[in-house]
Each structure stands twice: as C-alpha cells, then as structure tokens.
Structure 1
Amino acid sequence: MSKTYDVIVIGSGTAATTVAKRVSAAGRSVAVTDFRPYGGTCALRGCDPKKMLIGGTSAADHARRMRGKGVEADVQIDWRDLLEFKRGFTDPVPGKKEKSFSESGIATFHGRARFVGPNSVEVEGETLEAKHIVLATGAEPMKLGIPGEEHLIDNEGFLEMESLPRRIVLVGGGYIAAEFSHIAARAGAEVTILQHGERMLKGFDPDLVEWLMEKYDEIGVTLHTNTEVERVEKTGDTFRITTGGEGGSKTFEADLVVHAAGRKPDFAALDLEAGGVELQEGKLVLNEYLQSTSNPAVYAAGDTAQMGPPLTPVSNHDGKVVAANLLEGNHSTPNYDGVPSVAFTLPPLARVGLDEAEAREQGLKFRMQSDRTPGWFSTRQQAESVSGYKVLVEEGSEPGRLRESVKSYAKPTPVTRTARGEGCRRALTDQ
C-alpha cells in the first residue's frame, strides 16, 4: 500500500529544505527522502566544511604573514585536529536536519528514490505518491572518461582525509581546485594543479585571476594549464598521472589525486523515463517556473535544475520560487541577475555582475577603474601581498555612486552588495 502526500521532495539540502519547509508551513503534506545523510552538499560535503578547514589554514597563514611584524610564533597545521574541528560542525547536521523536518510535520525517508510513475516514486521498496514531486538532488562529480578514473577521490573524500598526503594532484581548475589547493598547500602538502583550459577560474575576470596566481607561486602551488589528463595508474601507494596537451606528454607522481573537474546532476538512479521527465543533453527540460515541460507534476530546484549558478544562495532562491508556484500556481520565476560569487582562496576572489569581456560582448558602453591596492589599510593590516579591484560603470547609470563603491572596498570584510545603478558591474580580489 502506497503513502500519499501533496508534495514529495527528493533531496535534503538547501533547495529541498526551503521547498519542504515552506510548503509544509502552508498546511500541505510533505515527504522528504535522501539516500545520503540529511543536510545536502553545502552543509556536509562542500561550502561549510571547506570553510571550517579554511578557518584553520587562514589563521595560520595570517600568523605567518605577520611574522616579523609583532608575531614570532612558528604556526603549523595539525591536520587531524583541524579535521576534528570540521567534524564538530558537520557531524551533528544530519540529526538536526531530520529532527527539524519531523518537528515541521514533514515525513522523512531514507534511500534512493526512483520514479515508478508520473506522480509516484519508490524508496527502499515503499511506494510514495504525490500531486507534485520536487527534484533537489544536487550534483555529483562528472565522469572524466579516462582509464584509472576510479583512483581519484572527490570533494567529499578530500574533506574526510584522516591525514594530509605529502604530494597532491588536483585535476581541474574551478572552485574546488582553487580552494582545496590553498588549504592543502598551507597545511604543508606539495600541490600540483592540472587544468585543461588556458587558465583557472574561468568565471572570474582574467586580470584579477592573474593577480591571484601570484599567490599560488608564493605558497608553492604548481599550475599546468592546457593540460589534458589521459590516465591515472596506481603502483603501491603512489599514483602516476599521464597528461597530454600543448606541452606534449608528461607524467606526474602523487600520493593523492583529487577530482576537481566539475560537477553535474546524476539522474541515472531516478529513472526519469518512468516518470515521464524529459532530459536534453543531460539537463532537465524546464519552463520558466522551474517545472518539467513533459510532466507538469515535477519541479526542480538548485543544482538539479541547472538554471542559475551552482551556488547555495541560488538553491535557496530556486526553492522559494518552486514553493510559491506549488502553493499559488505558476507565477514566480527565478532571477539570477547580479548574483555574487566568491572563490574562497587566500585571499578570496569575488565578483558580481558582468565582467569586462561580458560587458563588451553585450555592446555596453562603460567606464572602467582597476588598480592593485597594496597601500590600502585592509591590505596592510592583514600583511597581505596580493589585493586589487576592478569596477565597471555603464554610462548613464548614476556614476556618482562609484566613489561610494570604491571607498567601501577598504573595509576588512568582503563586499558583495551592489553599490550601483542598473549598469554598474564590478569584480575584485580581496580588497
């Protein structure tokens, strides 16, 4: 005998929680299911645990930068203690999350969900039916399609390492490679990044990324761009990575190889075909309301929807949109304009709005102000060696606010608000 609900939410992360809590609060019956511990990627396998590790490495890094400026202690990272510090945050999350769902009157299930009909899924042999089903399953590391791929660990494996290997190779050049390399190098590992593209962090302004690369050199991270990983072999406790690309064939040896080459939803286990949910080129076919065009009973949010940037605030935003449409009929659409993004390197790299290339591609007329900022108070107070900003202001868009915007960068905390008219776009590294 099946159980029936108004809404079934598959997933338990940010997007799933937002939908489930809002719909339940409106008096609808809701069920949540997840085959992983409750909490989602951000809280358990991504943003938050990463920041816990950065908390320790950034403290040590600041102390080292202050050496000779009043601080004399030789600060080192104890990886095991830092891991326990991280676990002090992550370990309680699943229990707290499930308790929170139960206290909100939301039914909870554990196990992989798969469609068995347009309005029904099966979880561990139990059939659940609903008027609507929300897909909020997050993303997984994408397949690399190379021999020896099984030897790579993913972000989850990195964040659970019991000890820090001496030599680490990261495959990829996005957020994960950028952030994990800074953590590992400052904790004492020899770090190499293999990136198939011509530069790292393609979502950020290339000028600012180039400034940040000075920090990679300073902390001893080796970067190889235009490099394709062809295979990974394991011999005893050592891995050999063979690459090709513009520089020809090369080999690298490491004690650990990390998959940092991107993530995307894995829909295989959901059996979308049985639910009448259409995919095109690996993406759900959704309308402007985040609703499946082939099965109107199904909605998607967050990384599963792949409509906005893969960021936690975007997942929360999508969840609000889906909840509003479930409760009041389709009327709410997502808006991803001006979403800020930060790579939590040390120093961090941030952006909001269009970068220079995007503004030029759109034919916008703008003024640009860009500079390195070694003399700013925040830079000197932190004894930092790399900092700067880039501001773009579209002509006719309240240019008087530019002075306020630039002045605000002197604050010691990251600036993400948009101090502009509709046309002002900016990006910065540190401040």
Structure 2
Amino acid sequence: MSDAYDLIVIGAGMAGTSAANKCAAQGWRVAIVDELPYGGTCALRGCDPKKILRRGAEIIDAARLLDGDGTHDGETSIDWSDLVRRKRRFTERIPAALEEELIGNNVATLHGQAQFVGRQEVRIDDRVYTSKKFLVATGARPRTLEFPGAEHVIDSTSFLDLDRLPKRIVFVGGGFISFEFAHIAARAGAECIILDHGPRPLRGFDEELVRRLVRRSEQAGISVLRNTSVDRVEPRQAGFVVLVATDGTTSTIDADLVVHGAGRVAALDDLDLEAAEVAYGSRGVTVADHLQSPTNPAVFAAGDAADTAGRPLTPVAVFEGKVAASNMLRGTTTAPDYTGVPTTVFSIPELNRVGLLEDEARAQGFDVHVRFTDTSDWYSSYRVGETESAAKIVIDTATDMVLGAHLLGHGYSELINTFGMAMKLGLTTRQLKSVTATYPSLGSDLGSML
C-alpha cells in the first residue's frame, strides 16, 4: 500500500470525518487517523452521552415539579450505574460503526498518534506518510490547571464514565461543563458546589437569565460560589479537601470528587506543528478566514483545533470541516458563515443564546429594541411546573430583524433553533409573527416573545 495521499485528516471527530467523506466522494485518496476511538468528543465523551445521563435527571426533576400537584414523586430515583450502562450501550457501538462507514466511503482508517515530520509529512507510530493536503481536526482538551493537587481533579470524560456517583462533588469553573454536570448529579442525589473565579458564571450568556438559572440551580441543591479560586486540592483518607479563596477570605470544602470544568484549549500538543511550519496558539491552529494555514498552505484546520470566529460547538465543527474540504477540492477561499448558530447550556431548565447580547448590539451601533418577557407563568411553563423561564429578544429597529435571542426555559433549546433560522435567512419579526404554529406547543410561544 502506498503511503502517499491527497488528504490526511488528523482527528476522527465530527469535523474530520465530514471532511474525509466529502473529499473521498470526489475521488481523492484520503486517510484519517486518531489515537483515540473514532467518534470524537461529542459522540463519545461529550454532548451525546451527557444528554443520555441528563435524561435521568429530567425525569427526576419533572416528577419533583409536579409532586403533590397531580402526581406523587414517591421513590423515583436515579440508579447511576444503570444510567451509565445505558450511556455505554450508545457510545460503545459508535467507533466501529463510524470506521466501517469511512471504509465504505474509500477512506483509509489509521490508528495512532500523528506527528508532523515535515511540511507535508506525518509519522504515525513508526511509519511516515506524505500528503498533498492535511486537515487538523484534533478537537480540544481540558485546560491545564495550575494549582497544587490538580492531579487529583478528574476531567469531563472521566465524570461521564463513573460507575458510582460520589456524594460530595466540587466543580472547578463556572462554565458549560460545571453547570450541566452539576444539574445531572444533583438530581441523582449528590451535593454539588460550583466554584467560579469571576463575579458571575456563564459570562457568554445574558446576565439576567444567568441570574435566574443560578437561582434555579440553588433550588435544586447546587451551591454556586462566585469570586472563588482554588488554592490547592489535598487528598484525605476519605476524599479530598479543597482549599479556596473567596474575595480574599480562605476556607476549605470537603469533597469526595473534584471535577474540571474550567475550560478547554485546542488539542495540539503532540502534533509537532513546528516541524510543519504551522503557526498556532492556545485557541488552535492559526488559519485564514477560509481555514487554511497562512504559514503552510498544505495544512487546513477545523473545529475546536482551529482558531476561527466560530464557537467551539459540534455543528460548527461539522460545517467548518465541510467548508475546508470544499476549499481544498476547488481551490477556493470561501469562509464559513456563522450567522444564526445557537448555543445551549443543557442545565435544567436550558439556557440558550443565538446572536448578539444586548450590550454587544448597542456597542456595534445598532438602534435596538429589547423585548424581555418573564415566561414563568405562561402555559408552556405551567404545564410542566417550571418556575424559572424568560426570554430576551434583541431587535434591530431599522430592519426589524432579530440581532440576538436569549432564552431560559423548559424545552427552549428547540425554540432557539427557530430564532437561529430567522437570523440565517434574514426574516423580520413581522414575518416570524405571521407564522401560525401548532397549539399548544413551545413553537406557539415565539410570536408572543416578539
């Protein structure tokens, strides 16, 4: 077998596999390599398994919200081991199925650590492969923690694979991972504390909605400590002691488990990009708008491994992979369009954002109209017993188009997609309100939010 290819993709996650399949379909000789099982973070160690575990938490929460108001919570509980086994039944079949699909599409599937040894050469184990083009799609890894005892902190991958859920859990960081996992663990009976080093968590989301989510989190038994940094983690005979500083005051927290939720960085450490003369930073491979390295035109990057304007989201990785593939195939310089891409914190209830925050819109010079609505007493919230839900819609008064939508509520991760579609297609609020939705549904709430 020849070791020369038209394209070698490094990373078999969503960005990498979408690009590999696209180029192979056009007759290119394509190989893909990963040192981990095929599937990437989202399918195996992130989005999908997380939401399978979350389903158990949703059921518990739903029962509690209506307990004594038409139903009885009784002995409803989560069996963590059984729930994790259910998650594994989904994830364990993915690598083989994905590799079989790639092979069926004439993509050579390689396994091992890829390391550049030249501008157009990589070594995989002890074998050197050459290629006309490369796509770096290695995703992200947890950010390195600098405090003493960081080696005792587990990452999100390990949390999702716990056979037993400890009673006392501390989450380091006030972002997506900490909130999503804490909302799962709390419903499974754990005592959860989130440590955020800033004045408020989830800083990329609307401040008022975050405040409401924090209130709802505390009602679910999750403590959120702001302006708190970790000084060290010390092991004890039973668990750990976490030494923290809050507004200059030191204290200790006893924990059975400490979880890393303090952000992620591009996973590039083992690639030896210097050997390929590829520029990069903590946000990923440095690329032009069309995802090509300016220092080595043979190399493209996509997904969490690329320093782009896109958010670190699976759908973004998929379309960046496809755009990179198209540019390689056609020799074009098309840039990805990030308009209308929503993002969600899958807490209970869900926190969503698409487009600009209110202050961002004003800073960019838009004359905005902001429609804020507390939807806690709306039918869709009352029906399920949810006590915290709200919507903030940011509208450009000059064009009547949505600049941003921010939603907190049960099932609102589906409703945010409609706002994203409206932004992508340039629909006005008048056009959105003219649509008749099936009733009663979450979709029928949209018109009233505008």
TM-score by length of 1: 0.93
Alpha-carbon separation, structure 1, partners of 2:194 and 2:428 = 36
The alignment partner of 1:416 has SS state of helix
Structure 2 residue 252 is matched with structure 1 residue 236: no
Deviations 1:118-167 (A, max 9, x none): 11111111111100011000000011111111101001000000001000
Structure 2 residue 7 is matched with structure 1 residue 7: yes
Partner in structure 1 of residue 346 of structure 2: 344
Q: How does 1:86-165 map to 2 (within 5 A)?
A: 86-165=87-166
CA-CA distance at 1:320 after TM superposition? 1.1
Aligned 8 A contact 1:393 1:423 in 2: no
Deviations 1:203-244 (A, max 9, x none): 100011111112111111011111111111112231111122
Partner in structure 1 of residue 441 of structure 2: none
CA-CA distance at 1:265 after TM superposition? 1.1
The alignment partner of 1:85 has SS state of helix
CA-CA distance at 1:330 after TM superposition? 2.4
Deviations 1:354-383 (A, max 9, x none): 011211221211111112112211101111
Aligned 8 A contact 1:2 1:126 in 2: no
Alpha-carbon separation, structure 1, partners of 2:388 and 2:312 = 27
Partner in structure 1 of residue 251 of structure 2: 250
Aligned 8 A contact 1:378 1:411 in 2: no
Aligned 8 A contact 1:12 1:40 in 2: yes
Partner in structure 2 of residue 380 of structure 1: 382
Partner in structure 1 of residue 437 of structure 2: none
Partner in structure 1 of residue 51 of structure 2: 51
- Structure 1 residues not aligned, in runs of 5+: none
Structure 2 residue 199 is matched with structure 1 residue 209: no
Aligned 8 A contact 1:141 1:154 in 2: yes
Deviations 1:265-295 (A, max 9, x none): 1322101111111124564221111111111
Partner in structure 1 of residue 371 of structure 2: 369
Distance 1:282 1:14, change over 3 A: closer
Partner in structure 1 of residue 179 of structure 2: 178
CA-CA distance at 1:12 after TM superposition? 0.6
Number of matched residues? 422
Alpha-carbon separation, structure 2, partners of 1:186 and 1:411 = 18
Query: Partner letter of residue 112 of structure 2?
Result: G
- Structure 2 residues not aligned, in runs of 5+: 430-444
Aligned 8 A contact 1:151 1:232 in 2: yes
Aligned 8 A contact 2:227 2:247 in 1: yes
Distance 1:73 1:268, change over 3 A: closer
Query: Partner letter of residue 25 of structure 1?
Result: A
After TM superposition, the structure 1 stretch with the greater mean CA deviation from structure 2, 263-272 or 175-184, is 263-272
Aligned 8 A contact 2:290 2:336 in 1: yes
Partner in structure 2 of residue 311 of structure 1: 313
Alpha-carbon separation, structure 2, partners of 1:220 and 1:129 = 55
Query: Partner letter of residue 381 of structure 2?
Result: T
CA-CA distance at 1:2 after TM superposition? 6.4
Aligned 8 A contact 2:265 2:282 in 1: no
Query: Partner letter of residue 9 of structure 2?
Result: V
% identity of equivalent residues? 44
Aligned 8 A contact 1:14 1:40 in 2: yes
The alignment partner of 1:338 has SS state of coil
Query: Partner letter of residue 319 of structure 2?
Result: H
The alignment partner of 1:134 has SS state of strand
Structure 2 residue 74 is matched with structure 1 residue 81: no
TM-score by length of 2: 0.90
Q: How does 1:190-339 map to 2 (within 5 A)?
A: 190-280=191-281, 283-307=284-308, 308-339=310-341
CA-CA distance at 1:422 after TM superposition? 7.1
Partner in structure 1 of residue 433 of structure 2: none
Deviations 1:303-330 (A, max 9, x none): 0003110000100110111010110002
Aligned 8 A contact 1:356 1:392 in 2: yes
Aligned 8 A contact 2:283 2:307 in 1: no
Alpha-carbon separation, structure 2, partners of 1:182 and 1:37 = 28
CA-CA distance at 1:245 after TM superposition? 4.0
Deviations 1:66-86 (A, max 9, x none): 212222242111101111111
Distance 1:107 1:359, change over 3 A: same
CA-CA distance at 1:411 after TM superposition? 8.3
Alpha-carbon separation, structure 1, partners of 2:85 and 2:410 = 35
Alpha-carbon separation, structure 2, partners of 1:194 and 1:411 = 27
Alpha-carbon separation, structure 2, partners of 1:190 and 1:201 = 21
Structure 2 residue 401 is matched with structure 1 residue 391: no
Query: Partner letter of residue 392 of structure 2?
Result: K
Query: Partner letter of residue 61 of structure 1?
Result: D
The alignment partner of 1:16 has SS state of helix
Partner in structure 1 of residue 440 of structure 2: none
Partner in structure 2 of residue 355 of structure 1: 357
After TM superposition, the structure 1 stretch with the greater mean CA deviation from structure 2, 40-49 or 223-232, is 223-232
After TM superposition, the structure 1 stretch with the greater mean CA deviation from structure 2, 409-418 or 85-94, is 409-418
After TM superposition, the structure 1 stretch with the greater mean CA deviation from structure 2, 152-161 or 284-293, is 284-293
Q: How does 1:394-409 map to 2 (within 5 A)?
A: 394-398=396-400
